[in-house]
């Protein structure tokens, strides 16, 4: 664009930096949120479901039944709970005192020790799926152990399989969540903060003032967005440091490539924030809109927690217009797999196109709105 | 008192609802979001790209592999002559099942029928699911091939209560509902007060001969109303769109929602007394919302977290609300769950309202 | 009209931590008076007014506003005064009617009374637009008049206006001051802060504030007389170089005040003899004219002079 004056953009950026620095509370929150998120996902969230409360109804009372109960509790996944007098295991599930119940029939010990086949009923609280699926997954292991220790003979498995988990051999939760956090932080800070600051200028009327000067729209845009870009980048860098130093998350790929992905996504997010603020011009509306179109998709539709491939067909296509989806793919590919640009051509191309499109959209809307 | 409160309610409702965009955001967006999340998000992992590699003419392995594809969880990956690692590195396959050398039937006869499953573990949830599925599919295949000899002596007859089909929407919808109501009320309240302060209209309100309690009620009751309206709307949407049942009595649902909304509105008020502008109010809101959502059990089971976090979760109003919602909607409202959680939530509402009142009074003077 | 003062302030002080915002201020305001506060930003005008409206509790001293003190935390005072703060007090996103309804609700006015007052006030300010007009779409001057109407909806006897005309066009300012005079004409008392000198001239009496202290009090005329007991001359150098003469003049005996006013200078002296002696050396091209001191001169002498 001709007439773009770096100096004027710079002076707007400087004013914006002053705004940020004079407002230590906002700065603290903007940097505090990433810290909190990274701590949470680093320490608190473990995808291995443990401590499932289990109520047992033992109508057999024999040695095998006792051993089966022991097997459940020593598996490390289950936590037997005492039945409240007068309420059966299902009542325990109803009241939430247990999330699973095991029923051992009479004659259980006799049958299984005599070499017969036995069934034990296992009832599960289906109101919490996150737990439910995992619990069902633990049962085969108990089954196999029971075979050896109760029936007295190891199950003769004609064939079996051995799993090798690539890139994250110990299935460490942190390796999975922490690299993806950058997407959430960018989605939060870049979109919401810019949407709000620019909307505030409209609300206060200071945008009119800015426009009455010979500053060009592009200069205003660059000047307003660059400091927030830097702030967001600082947040991402911070998450990177904590991930590497505190949680020992590996970084297999190229840092340069990761930075490029971040910059592309940040560009898209800042443009989206600007677009929202131009359209709404009011902080409350800008915030709500930023949350719905920016933060929530970053958290929920990007594949951060819920894999995109598991979504219905429509959403698999729909999420293609969301930059966080592509950023997530690129970020995980680079950090854990060490993928190169060739292998990440699709996410990068999509991210590039989307951020260019978003930037153009914001710029056009911004310019036409001013004229 | 009544006149003032009514004036506040009218004014706040006009201010929040006059703007079409705000109306859409407040009432349309939760429903749309609920729909999107209910449809799109699934705790069930599907569409796993699986490649199988075997020697020529390994019929038994072929049948095992077909078991995978027939399960509905896996998708077939067609490939050329790539090595298994390449398939995963390039992202074309999420998992590769490799037959033992010399064929499955022959190695099984030798008592060594070990297949190899390579799994891309960059996505942890997927990796876990792949292994669990494989275990079930392969033991079923073994039983098919070898009959009773391969059947274990102990079998579990698994019954799932409340949500027998393990539908994700049943589980997620109540959680997302809690999250949306919490999000809207906290941020809206915090920002509305911050805005009055930012613009200066707050000075008019405090110069009126009202007691501190009247000012506080005037600024909060309208948002409690809005929050309860939103909660009702989201419950109705969950019921109508996803058929999420409401098995318990409605009064329980109403009480739980009211207690939550009073708590969150109080927290929003508290935040707004600290924040000097709307931007700060929003960030402060998120400072509360993120941990509240993560510790609530909406997405991650609380019991699974470290002790310190579990302790902190007991201070999370959303955790109680999600428990209440799941209990009332899916389980039919066990009274023990109701009174313990509602009691805790009511206590929090009381403490939060008290703290907000105290802080509010301080900032007024 | 009874003779009791509308406002009686005795040794009023307020501290915020270590900072004394208002320091030992005493004065009284009569009923029906336009009483002005003049002072730089941060002089304590707004803080004084906020105390007198019952918004802040003084650290020490006492005040009777319409006969009421601070005993009840200012609630009684809030009931009988009207207050229009420095910032904009109406909601831009509400209509005129909705704003006034809310103001009525804040003061628990009966609907019939509020409606009657609304008509009276609309007549007073000459407002003839529909009630459904959005405030954001009204011109600045009209917004300000409406804000005043909202502050007077409960028919207060004492009205506090904190810089009511800042950011308003000059023509609208004049209109607004006409309105203030009409209100005091009804027997109401108006206390107003300003930093426009021409507005201060229109007050019955002015309290001059500096760093929390009341440094002068009186009618504009009284203030001028006490600040400048002697004559004042306006010097016009008409293109001649003033510097040498000014630096000589600064040392002249009997000079009270010397300040630049645009291209000209104002010089005040203790008496006529001192003036004649000091102006004897005026360059031939320059002219000196005897003038009446303005409030601005008073302000400079009392406020800025004290800072030198």
Instruction: Give the one of B11, B199, B211 whose C-beta lies nearest to C88's C-beta.
Output: B199
Listed residue (C230, C262, C261, C266) closest to C249, CA to CA: C266
Neighbours of A23 (CB within 10 A): 16
Distance from CA of B274 to the nearest CA of C (A): 18
Contact across the interface for B162 and A127, Cβ inside 8 Å? yes
Specify the residue for token string 């002296």. Answer: C269
CB A216, CB A3: distance < 8 Å: yes
Contact B205, B196 (CB under 8 A): yes
In this complex, which of A23, A164, A192 lies closest to B116 when CB atoms are compared?
A164
Least confident window among B62-66, B258-262, C34-38, C288-292: C288-292
Do B138 and B181 lie in one domain? The reply is no
A164 to B155: CB separation less than 8 angstroms, yes or no: no
- Do residues B141 and B175 both lie within one domain? no
Which chain B residue has its CA at the smallest distance from A124's CA? B160
- Name the helix (H) or strand (E) containing C289: strand C287-291
CA of C44 vs chain B CAs: smallest distance (Å): 17
Kindly list the strands in the beta sheet with C189-194, ordered across the sheet, starting from the edge strand earlier in the chain. Answer: C81-84, C158-162, C189-194, C34-39, C205-210, C213-218
Please give the distance of CA A123 from its chain centroid, rounded to a whole number. Answer: 30
Does C229-292 carry CATH code 3.30.70.260? yes
pLDDT value, residue C263? 82
pLDDT for B1 equals 64
Q: Does B132 touch chain A (CB under 8 A)?
A: yes
All residues of chain C having their beta carbon less than 8 Å from the beta carbon of residue B211 are 75
Q: Which two tokens stand for residue B10?
A: 């009218």
**Residue ranges covered by each domain of chain A:** 6-45+171-370, 52-149
Beta-carbon separation of B211 and C75 below 8 A: yes
Asked whether residue B176 is assigned to any structural domain, the reply reads: yes
pLDDT digits (tens, 9 = 90+) for A124-176: 887 776 677 778 778 878 887 777 777 666 656 677 778 888 888 888 888 88
Q: Are A64 and A88 in contact (CB under 8 A)?
A: no
User: Are C143 and C135 spatial neighbours (Cβ–Cβ below 8 Å)?
Assistant: yes
* Angle, helix C111-125 to helix C96-106, in steps of 10 degrees: 130
Residues in chain B: 365
B289 and B327 inside one domain: yes
Q: Does residue B90 lie within any of the structural domains? A: yes
State the smallest CA–CA distance between residue B284 and chain A in angstroms: 7
Q: Is residue B160 part of a domain?
A: no
Task: Give the domain extent around B61.
Answer: 48-150
| Least CB–CB distance from B286: residue in A168, A188, A301 | A188
Q: Does B334 touch chain A (CB under 8 A)?
A: yes
pLDDT at position B264: 93
Chain B residues touching C101 at Cβ < 8 A: 7, 10-11
Give residue C161's pLDDT.
Answer: 94
- Say if B349 falls within a structural domain: yes
Residues in B closer than 8 angstroms to A171, CB to CB, are 121, 124, 127-128
Cβ-Cβ contacts under 8 Å, B295 against chain A:
44
Instruction: Report the residue of chain B nearest C109, measured CA to CA.
Output: B3
pLDDT tens for each residue of C89-129: 888 888 999 999 999 988 889 999 999 999 999 999 999 99
pLDDT at res. C185: 92
Query: How many A-B residue pairs are in contact by the CB < 8 A criterion?
Result: 354
For chain C, say whether B200 makes contact (Cβ under 8 Å): yes
Same domain, B306 and B215: yes
Return the residue of B nearest to C89 by Cα.
Answer: B201
Query: Which pair of structure tokens corresponds to residue C224?
Result: 């001028």
ipTM of the complex: 0.80
Secondary structure class of C35 (helix, strand, coil):
strand
B155 is a domain residue: no
Tell me which residue in B142, B160, B336 faces A132 most closely, judged by beta carbons.
B160
B114 close contact with C: CB closer than 8 A: no
The pLDDT score that the predictor gives to residue A152 is 66
**Quick one: fold of C7-219?**
Rossmann fold (3.40.50)
For residue C35, the model assigns a pLDDT of 95
Chain A residue numbers touching B128 (CB-CB < 8 A): 47, 134, 137, 171
- In chain A, whose CA is at the least distance from the CA of B275? A25
pLDDT for position A1:
42
Question: Which region among A146-155, B171-180, C226-235, C277-286 has the lowest average model confidence (pLDDT)?
Answer: A146-155
Residue A309 to residue B33, Cβ atoms within 8 A: no
- Closest CA–CA distance from residue B214 to any residue of chain A (Å): 25
Per-residue pLDDT for C308 more than 60?
A: no
Give every residue of chain B whose pLDDT is below 70, as ranges.
1, 148-151, 365
B80 in C contact zone (CB under 8 Å): no
Q: Do both B173 and B316 map to the same domain? A: yes
Please say which residue of B88, B115, B150 terminates a domain: B150
Domain spans of chain C, in order of start: 7-219, 229-292
Pairing of strands C205-210, C34-39: parallel
The two tokens of residue C22 are: 């208002």
Residues in chain A where the model's pLDDT stays below 50: 1-2
Q: What is the DSSP string of C122-151?
A: HHHHT--S-TT-BGGGS-HHHHHHHHHHHH
Contact partners for chain A, using 3 or more CB pairs closer than 8 A, are B
What residue ranges in A149-258 does DSSP mark as E strands? 159-166
Chain A residue nearest residue B146, CA to CA: A158
Please answer yes or no on whether A336 and B122 come within 8 Å at the CB atom. Answer: yes
* CATH code at A52-149: 3.40.1710.10
B85 close to A (CB below 8 A): yes
For C:58-97, CB contacts with B below 8 A are 75-76, 78-79, 83, 85-94
> What are φ and ψ of residue B115, in 5° steps?
-90, 160
Distance (Å) from the alpha carbon of C257 to chain B's nearest alpha carbon = 40
Residues 38-57 of C with CB under 8 A from B: 53-57
Identify the closest residue of chain B to C91 by CA–CA distance: B201
Interface touch A127/B294, C-beta < 8 Å: no
- For the entire predicted model, the pTM comes to 0.80
Q: Is residue B135 part of a domain?
A: yes
Q: B301 and A137: CB-CB below 8 Å? A: no
Q: What chain B residue is nearest to C99 in terms of C-alpha separation?
A: B11
**Is B256 in the same domain as B359?**
yes
Residues B241, B115: one domain? no
Q: How many structural domains compose chain B? A: 2
Number of B:C CB contacts under 8 A? 81
């Amino acid at each position: 664009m001709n007439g773009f004056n770096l100096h004027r953009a710079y002076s707007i950026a400087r004013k914006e930096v002053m705004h940020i620095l004079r407002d230590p509370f906002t700065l603290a929150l903007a940097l505090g949120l990433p810290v909190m998120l990274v701590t949470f996902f680093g320490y608190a969230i473990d995808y291995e479901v443990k401590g499932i409360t289990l109520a047992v109804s033992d109508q057999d009372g024999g040695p095998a039944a006792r051993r089966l109960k022991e097997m459940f509790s020593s598996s490390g996944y289950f936590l037997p709970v005492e039945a409240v007098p007068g309420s059966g295991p299902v009542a325990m599930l109803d009241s939430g005192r247990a999330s699973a119940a095991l029923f051992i029939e009479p004659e259980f010990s006799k049958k299984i020790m005599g070499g017969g086949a036995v069934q034990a009923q296992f009832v599960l609280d289906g109101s919490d799926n996150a737990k439910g699926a995992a619990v069902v997954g633990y049962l085969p292991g108990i089954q196999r152990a029971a075979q050896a220790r109760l029936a007295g003979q190891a199950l003769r498995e004609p064939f079996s399989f051995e799993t090798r988990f690539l890139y994250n051999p110990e299935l460490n939760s942190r390796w999975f969540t922490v690299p993806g956090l950058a997407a959430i932080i960018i989605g939060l800070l870049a979109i919401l903060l810019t949407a709000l600051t620019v909307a505030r200028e409209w609300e206060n009327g200071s945008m009119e003032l800015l426009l009455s000067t010979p500053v060009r729209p592009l200069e205003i845009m660059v000047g307003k967005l660059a400091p927030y870009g830097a702030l967001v980048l600082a947040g991402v860098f911070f998450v990177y440091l904590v991930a590497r130093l505190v949680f020992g998350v590996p970084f297999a790929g190229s840092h340069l490539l990761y930075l490029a992905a971040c910059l592309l996504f940040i560009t898209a997010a800042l443009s989206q924030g600007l677009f929202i603020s131009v359209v709404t011009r009011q902080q409350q509306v800008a915030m709500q809109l930023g949350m719905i179109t920016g933060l929530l998709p970053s958290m929920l539709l990007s594949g951060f927690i819920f894999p995109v491939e598991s979504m219905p067909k429509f959403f698999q296509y729909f999420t293609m217009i969301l930059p966080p989806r592509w950023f997530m793919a690129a970020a995980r590919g680079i950090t854990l797999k060490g993928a190169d640009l060739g292998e990440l051509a699709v996410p990068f191309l999509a991210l590039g196109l989307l951020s260019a499109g978003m930037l153009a959209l914001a710029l056009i809307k911004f310019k036409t709105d001013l004229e | 008192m009544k006149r003032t409160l009514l004036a506040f309610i009218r004014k706040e409702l006009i201010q929040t609802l006059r703007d079409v965009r705000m109306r859409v955001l407040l009432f349309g967006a939760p429903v749309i979001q609920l729909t999107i999340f209910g449809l799109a998000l699934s705790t069930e992992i599907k569409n796993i790209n699986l490649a199988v590699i075997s020697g020529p003419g390994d019929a038994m392995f072929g049948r095992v592999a077909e078991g995978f594809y027939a399960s509905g969880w896996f998708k077939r990956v067609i490939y050329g002559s790539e090595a298994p690692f390449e398939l995963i590195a390039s992202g074309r396959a999420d998992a590769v099942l490799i037959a033992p050398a010399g064929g499955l039937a022959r190695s099984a006869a030798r008592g060594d029928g070990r297949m190899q499953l390579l799994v891309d573990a960059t996505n942890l949830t997927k990796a876990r699911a792949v292994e669990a599925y494989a275990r079930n599919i392969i033991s079923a295949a073994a039983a098919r091939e070898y009959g009773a000899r391969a059947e274990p002596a102990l079998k579990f007859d698994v019954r799932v209560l409340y949500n027998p089909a393990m539908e994700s929407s049943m589980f997620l919808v109540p959680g997302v509902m809690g999250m949306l109501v919490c999000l809207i009320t906290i941020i809206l309240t915090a920002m509305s007060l911050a805005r009055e302060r930012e613009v200066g209209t707050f000075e008019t309100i405090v110069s009126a001969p009202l007691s501190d309690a009247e000012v506080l009620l005037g600024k909060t009751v309208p948002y409690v109303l809005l929050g309860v309206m939103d909660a009702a709307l989201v419950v109705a949407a969950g019921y109508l769109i996803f058929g999420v049942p409401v098995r318990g009595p409605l009064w329980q649902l109403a009480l739980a929602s009211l207690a939550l909304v009073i708590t969150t509105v109080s927290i929003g008020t508290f935040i707004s007394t600290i924040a000097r502008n709307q931007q700060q109010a929003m960030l402060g809101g998120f400072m509360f919302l993120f941990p509240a959502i993560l510790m609530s059990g909406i997405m991650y089971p609380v019991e699974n977290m470290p002790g310190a976090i579990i302790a902190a979760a007991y201070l999370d109003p959303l955790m109680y609300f999600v428990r209440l919602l799941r209990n009332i909607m899916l389980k039919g409202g066990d009274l023990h769950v109701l009174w313990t959680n509602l009691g805790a939530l009511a206590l929090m509402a009381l403490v939060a309202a008290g703290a907000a009142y105290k802080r509010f009074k301080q900032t007024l003077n | 009209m009874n003779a009791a003062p509308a406002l009686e302030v005795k040794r009023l002080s307020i501290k915020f931590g270590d900072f004394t915002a208002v320091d030992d201020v005493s004065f009284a305001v009569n009923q029906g008076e336009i009483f002005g506060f003049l002072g730089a930003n941060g002089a304590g005008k707004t803080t004084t007014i906020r105390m007198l409206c019952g918004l802040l509790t003084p650290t020490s001293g006492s005040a009777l506003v319409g006969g009421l003190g601070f005993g009840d935390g200012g609630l009684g005072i809030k009931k009988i005064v009207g207050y229009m703060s420095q910032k904009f007090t109406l909601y831009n996103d509400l209509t005129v009617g909705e704003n006034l309804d809310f103001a009525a609700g804040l003061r628990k006015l009966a609907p019939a009374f509020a409606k009657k007052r609304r008509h009276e006030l609309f007549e007073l300010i000459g407002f003839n637009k529909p009630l459904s007009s959005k405030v954001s779409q009204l011109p600045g001057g009209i917004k300000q008049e409406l804000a005043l109407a909202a502050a007077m909806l409960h028919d207060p006897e004492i009205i506090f206006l904190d810089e009511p005309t800042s950011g308003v066009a000059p023509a609208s300012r004049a209109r607004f001051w006409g309105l203030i005079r009409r209100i005091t004409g009804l027997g109401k008392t108006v206390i107003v802060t300003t930093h426009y000198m021409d507005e201060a001239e229109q007050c019955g009496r002015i309290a001059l504030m500096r760093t929390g202290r009341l440094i002068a009090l009186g009618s504009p005329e009284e203030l001028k007389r006490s600040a400048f007991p002697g004559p004042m001359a306006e010097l016009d150098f008409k293109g001649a170089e003033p510097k040498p003469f000014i630096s000589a003049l600064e040392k002249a005996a009997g000079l009270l005040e010397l300040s630049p006013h645009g291209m000209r200078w104002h010089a005040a002296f203790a008496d006529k003899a001192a003036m004649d002696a000091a102006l004897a050396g005026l360059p031939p091209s320059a002219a000196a004219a005897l003038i009446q001191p303005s409030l601005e001169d008073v302000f400079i002498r009392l406020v800025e002079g004290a800072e030198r």
